[in-house]
Amino acid sequence: MDTKKLDKKWWKKEVGYQIYPRSFYDSNNDGIGDLNGITEKLDYLKNLGITLIWVCPIFKSPMDDNGYDISDYYDVNPEFGTKEDLERLISEAEKRGIKIILDLVINHTSDEHEWFLEALKNPESKYRNYYIFKRGKNGLPPTNWRSHFGGSVWEKVEGEVDENGNEMYYLHLFTKKQPDLNWENPEVRQELYKIVNYWLEKGIAGFRVDAINSIKKDKDYLDLPVDGADGLAHNIKYTLNQPGIEGFLTELAEKTFKKYNCMTVAETPLLEYERYSDFIGEGGFFSMIFDFSYSDLDMAKEGFYYSVQDVKVRELRNKIFESQLTQQKYGWGAPFLENHDLPRSLNKFFGEKANETNAKLLGNVFFFLRGTPFIYQGQEIGMDNFVRNDISEFDDIASKDQYQRALGEGFSPKEALYFVNKRSRDNSRTPMQWDEGKNAGFSEDENIKSWIKLTGRHTVTNVKNQLNDEDSIFAHYKNMIELRQNGKYSDCLIYGEFIPVLLKNDKIIAYIRKYENQNILCINNFSDKKQQVELSEIAKSISEKEIKLADILINNYKNIENDSEVLALEGYQSLLVEFQIL
């Protein structure tokens, strides 16, 4: 890698932190997290060392999908505060050297958005063409596609039957309260660009771009082979990453993002690697994208949430490496372990017995990958999943559907509950655990009931316990961030080449970051047994004969055991270590 040619765009240096505002901190004692709550915790985040916050949607919304259903893009949802609160958050963050990016949800709006209300009320209005309305056929909806959150993607419009008895429907890939926008209509696109530019003008640093690879639909609207007991079919063949989407994305980037020195991180599940060049290459549509190839390994079949499976280390490693090498080839990545749609990583990769050492190991594996890392709230203290005993205890709309679907497929209520507990989005949406108090310090008044149940483990896992403990998971994250951001290893850890190593050992995930004369090894033992590693094996991967371990930068144990030839890793030991070539 020719480091002289490296392109050091500002967003490569950032460390992202994702906030789910409803669950971060409740500053006004109503049981719901809010913008002022984030502002109050900025010093905590500054202390952790992160430099950029992705705030999940805070715009006006009936909250059917917790804000991913926007009814007014120009205003803040009162439960989160006011526009002034948002402006204050942006400026207070800036004072601390922290940038804010917002969530851009422009594949769909809420059904309570004024465009949609108008479209429904008046079939002749121009707003009809803002959405995707289609006539059913033979008494059935236009296609047999299943929505991501269950049931048909088509919702019937009451009272619009034609002379042949066929009903009118509108398309929603997510809930029926999230009608899809018609991106084929240039006027819609112009309205959306206005929204994007409005917020960029307000001084935000950019956007996380929601479901953006769903904006183009195949125009033939054909049925797909039925794949479930509900008689429907997974829709993505005709709705995700469709040919021609590039046209929309080029225009979006040109009319908005490229006019600003902003950053964008796009949610693009299942985007084929051959297409990365357009998306994240030089002059690509986005600065970086989230690749879900390794975070979804606990699902045996794409789109089938009840197909829960254990994750094999080898598979995890192969997916991470493939993703890294692709992103390195074409552009820049955004490594992450968790987000608001996924269960906690600790349980996903280490089951119910996951411990602190495991949490530090996972942190080490992901954080030093090449890209702008994103930490999800609570990950830095090792928050884990909960176990609910009844489906009525769940809040997430997707979890409720997945439970019903599992029953429909013939699983017992016990099995269905097991799947939902494992994969529910509620797992990562539980209130942030600030202290051991009655409501985990989520609201200032500890008698306030939070909008969603706590995990119940806040007496053990909380910020207060960890802040001043130099062996804590929090301290581990803080060290990792400090190493990447400040000091003599920064260039290597940020821009350095990513080189996979030790592919023959299926218990280990290890890679090298290489920059000019610096070489750093990130090595992680995923088994509970000791693992011996020949240093010459590592040397071979970079076509060298001999290497010697030098500075130990991160270690989740007190010691390391090595001689000049062999490195012996304890069970779950994880290291970041500089080495020299002899």
Do 132 and 171 touch, CB atoms closer than 8 A?
A: yes
**163 assigned to active site:** no
Minimum CB distance to ligand NOJ, residue 211 (Å): 4
Minimum CB distance to ligand NOJ, residue 111 (Å): 13
Distance CA 153, CA 170 (A): 8
State the Cα angle at 221 between 217 and 227, rounded to 5°.
95
**551 assigned to active site:** no
Minimum CB distance to ligand NOJ, residue 261 (Å): 26
Closest residue by beta carbon to ligand NOJ: 68
Residue 374 contacts ligand NOJ per CB under 6 A: no
Nearer to ligand NOJ, 266 or 463 (CB): 266
Q: Which of 54, 59, 68, 133 binds ligand NOJ (CB under 6 A)?
A: 68
Give the HSE-up count for residue 183: Cα atoms under 13 Å, Cβ half-sphere.
24
Residue 341 contacts ligand NOJ per CB under 6 A: yes
Distance CA 79, CA 75 (A): 12
Tokens (6 digits) for 446: 């500890």
Residue 105 contacts ligand NOJ per CB under 6 A: yes
Nearer to ligand NOJ, 167 or 341 (CB): 341
Q: Print the binding letters for residues 259-298 with ligand NOJ: x by CB under 6 A, - otherwise.
A: --------x-------------------------------
Residues in the interface with ligand NOJ (CB under 6 A) total: 9
Minimum CB distance to ligand NOJ, residue 252 (Å): 17
Minimum CB distance to ligand NOJ, residue 105 (Å): 5
Residue 29 C-alpha from the chain's centroid:
28
Nearer to ligand NOJ, 28 or 404 (CB): 404
Tell me whether residue 16 is exposed, middle or buried, using C-beta atoms within 10 angstroms of its C-beta: 0 to 12, 13 to 18, 19 or more.
buried
Kindly name the residue from 14, 65, 267, 338 that is annotated as catalytic: 267
Tell me whether residue 250 is exposed, middle or buried, using C-beta atoms within 10 angstroms of its C-beta: 0 to 12, 13 to 18, 19 or more.
middle
Positions 168 through 197 that interact with ligand NOJ (CB under 6 A): 174
Tokens (6 digits) for 68: 């991913």
Neighbours of 490 (CB within 10 A): 16
Does residue 115 sit in helix, strand or coil?
helix
Ramachandran area for residue 112 (φ above 0: left; ψ -120 to 50: alpha; else beta): alpha
- Report which of 98, 93, 83, 79 is spatially closest to residue 33, judged by C-alpha positions: 79
Task: Report CA-CA distances (Å) from 221 to 108, 138, 173.
Answer: 18, 15, 13
Does residue 133 sit in helix, strand or coil?
strand
Q: Which of 14, 64, 65, 85 binds ligand NOJ (CB under 6 A)?
A: 65
Tokens (6 digits) for 531: 């693992």
Q: Which of 211, 289, 481, 493 binds ligand NOJ (CB under 6 A)?
A: 211
Kindly name the residue from 85, 210, 338, 384 that is annotated as catalytic: 210
Tokens (6 digits) for 414: 């016990």
Nearer to ligand NOJ, 269 or 441 (CB): 269
Nearer to ligand NOJ, 65 or 278 (CB): 65
Minimum CB distance to ligand NOJ, residue 32 (Å): 17
Q: Is the dihedral of CA 356, 358, 364, 370 positive or negative?
A: negative
Minimum CB distance to ligand NOJ, residue 340 (Å): 6
Distance CA 389, CA 394 (A): 10
Which residue carries 């205890």 as its tokens? Answer: 393
Q: Print the binding letters for residues 11-50 with ligand NOJ: x by CB under 6 A, - otherwise.
A: ----------------------------------------
- Report which of 50, 577, 574 is spatially closest to residue 350, judged by C-alpha positions: 574
Nearer to ligand NOJ, 199 or 526 (CB): 199
Nearer to ligand NOJ, 174 or 495 (CB): 174
Nearer to ligand NOJ, 178 or 524 (CB): 178
Minimum CB distance to ligand NOJ, residue 447 (Å): 30
145-146 and 233-234 strand pairing: parallel
Give the residue numbers annotated as catalytic, written as ranges.
Answer: 210, 267
- Which residues of the chain form contacts with ligand NOJ (CB under 6 A)? 65, 68, 105, 174, 210-211, 267, 340-341
